[in-house]
Chain A
């Protein structure tokens, strides 16, 4: 399993009701169903991913977060709402985060850090939009339309009164080095945040 997913699965306790926004081919939900006895749904728009989910017994709903939101889910109906590597691709990440914590008690969000030193360095040196392993696209075709830094995300959470329960910062190989822990906004490539509105 992808190391970031491995970190996330440790935060899910047995029997929890989980919603996975942009669940991809359902790898994580499949694992959580089998190993954590979790229930729940994945939302996805990629047809091939949807087919794969159905084939492996992951409940998947074809639903576009940008156009349909999460209106069809009741308040507090999930224990955990996951969104891995999709925050930067939705039109209004602020609203999605609000909605995550409306339908779920806890949210887990992962996204690439635009303040990673290699991106900063690339922009400074070449004067062109940076590319990296975590962000391998050109400026004109990238699905990542809402790039932010760890500091930006944390500022948004403060502004919305959202509590960050924990944060893990990893590099692109999803290794959690002491350097990334020491200077996360400079050296961390991907962050995994656990957020809630509860005290």
Chain B
């Protein structure tokens, strides 16, 4: 909670809910007749609407990417380290749009929203959403905001997948795609972790086949476990070692199974907090969207071929200790871009924090990100 707002903060911001009436046909075959998207914007759209940057969020992210909702908000938006005046995504130059994705649980239409057909929450009836669907809904958002072409679409992790998909779904509407700590598709190991998380949720007695809203219940334990296992994959062995080591909460072993090690207590705390603020059905949807993402599916695994339609320039960044989406996965993507004769720049940032490093402003990360986007800004006259 800041007493005064930092000079490099976008300051106090408030989200806005936009309603869409045009039905959207989804990859799963179902259609959503109407839906809401919650967005935050930072900076000012210039007269030719050329300076817009779309922020795509990751698994547990949302529209609140920068600034504060109130002076007593404990923490700023999730990517405040990179969005603001003078920051890599410089709001003095760019008009930044951050959206809570369809299926989310922070105001955009999702499983907890009321299904107009039944008057009750969608729950498990909410269609399974894919990255391609998100891009489609974001394109409609761009239409609504009068943005014909994004100066850049930027995202980390699952957000990076959306940036990549944008370049394929709408080649003419993206100048630059910035794909950070991401992968062109999940590995079996990645899917396996997601499955453990889903099993944790669906096997919780309070899950009620996804209709827990009707029972006034929340599958807290399941969500907590899902978050705990997920959280481990976001950190590195070294960063956990540094933060917790084998430190005990008490001085000696208790010879029991309580949270004796600091790391246990930390994971439980994180899991509990998450389970209070996140919707279980959304968690299922988001992990499935991750699993399904594979732009090379239709080209028999040939990613270079799948990239053929793209017209944008790419910036791909990876982090040395990220084992969830390791540098090798980014290089896979970069190599396909090279093969497909796309313009691409790539850097592997040395950072100890594992996958989470994309949220932490290490000097080299900030330098590279700033240099690239400075050039994007110059290119669009911002």
Q: List B residues 350-382 near A (Cβ within 8 Å).
A: 364, 367-368, 371-372, 374-375, 379
Name the contact of B346 in the complex, choosing from A17, A39, A62, A73 (C-beta under 8 A).
A62
Separation of A73 and B344 alpha carbons in the complex (Å): 13
A72 and B331 in contact (CB under 8 A), knowing A52-B371, A54-B315, A54-B368?
A: yes
B368 touches A50 (CB 8 A): yes
The segment from B39-47, B140-148, B244-252, B332-340 that touches chain A is B332-340
- For B335, give the chain A residue with the smallest CB separation: A72
Q: Chain A residue with minimal CB distance to B313? A: A59
Contact with B along A14-56 (1 / 0, CB 8 A): 0001000000000000000000000101000001001111111
> What A residues does B331 contact at CB under 8 A?
72
A61 part of interface (Cβ distance < 8 Å) = yes
Q: Which residues of A contact B120 (CB under 8 A)?
A: none
Known contacts: A47-B364, A51-B368. The answer to whether A59 contacts B374 by CB under 8 A is no
Residues in B neighbouring A52, C-beta threshold 8 A: 371
**A54 contacts B338, C-beta separation under 8 Å:** no
Alpha-carbon distance A62/B318, docked complex (angstroms): 11
| Contact digits for B289-315, partner A, Cβ 8 Å, 1 yes 0 no | 000000000000000000000000101
Nearest-Cβ distance from residue A53 to partner chain B, whole angstroms: 7
Q: State the CA gap A24–B327 with chains docked (Å).
A: 22
A43 vs B341: C-alpha distance when bound (angstroms): 15
Interface of A is mostly: mixed
Q: Is A55 touching B334 in the complex (CB atoms < 8 A)?
A: no
The CA of A63 and the CA of B343, in the complex, are separated in Å by 16
Determine the chain A residues whose CB is within 8 A of the CB of B334 once the complex forms. 61, 72
Q: In angstroms, how far is the closest chain A Cβ from the Cβ of B307?
A: 14
Q: Give the CA-CA distance A72 to B340 in the complex, in Å.
A: 12
* Complex interface: chain B residues within 8 A of A74 (CB): 339
Q: Least Cβ distance of B300 to chain A in Å?
A: 18
Q: Give complex CA distance A193, B338 in Å.
A: 26
B203 interface residue per 8 A CB criterion: no
Query: What string of 1s and 0s marks CB contacts (under 8 Å) between A96-110 and chain B?
Result: 000000000000000
Contacts of A50 in B (CB 8 A): 345, 347, 368
A42 to chain B, nearest CB (A): 9
- The answer to whether A54 touches B335 (Cβ under 8 A) is no
B335 — which chain A residues lie within 8 A by C-beta?
72
Closest residue on chain A to residue B342 by CB atoms: A59
> Which residues of B sit under 8 angstroms from A54, Cβ to Cβ?
315, 345, 347, 368, 371-372, 375
A39, A56, A62: the one contacting B348 at CB < 8 Å is: A62
Provide the residues of chain B in CB contact with A57, threshold 8 Å.
Answer: 375, 379
List residues of chain A with CB within 8 A of the CB of B339.
74, 77
Please indicate the chain A residues that have their CB under 8 angstroms from the CB of B344 in the complex.
41, 59, 61
A56 to B371, CA, bound (A): 8
**With a CB–CB cut-off of 8 A, which chain B residues contact A41?**
338, 344
Neighbouring A residues of B346 by C-beta, 8 Å: 60-63
A17 to B371, CA, bound (A): 24
**8 Å CB contact of A53 from B313, B338, B345, B374:** B345
Of chain A, the residue at the smallest CB distance from B347 is A62
- Distance in angstroms between the alpha carbons of A73 and B379 in the assembled complex: 29
Residues of A within 8 A of B348 (CB): 62
Given A72-B331, A73-B338, A74-B339, A55–B374 Cβ distance below 8 Å? yes
CB distance from B180 to the nearest CB of A (A): 14
Residues of A within 8 A of B (CB): 17, 39, 41, 47, 50-63, 72-74, 77
Interface residues, chain B, CB within 8 Å of chain A? 313, 315, 331, 334-335, 338-339, 341, 343-348, 364, 367-368, 371-372, 374-375, 379
15 pairs of residues in contact across A and B, judged by CB atoms under 8 Å: A39-B343, A47-B364, A50-B345, A50-B347, A51-B368, A54-B347, A54-B368, A55-B371, A55-B372, A56-B375, A59-B345, A62-B348, A72-B334, A77-B339, A77-B341
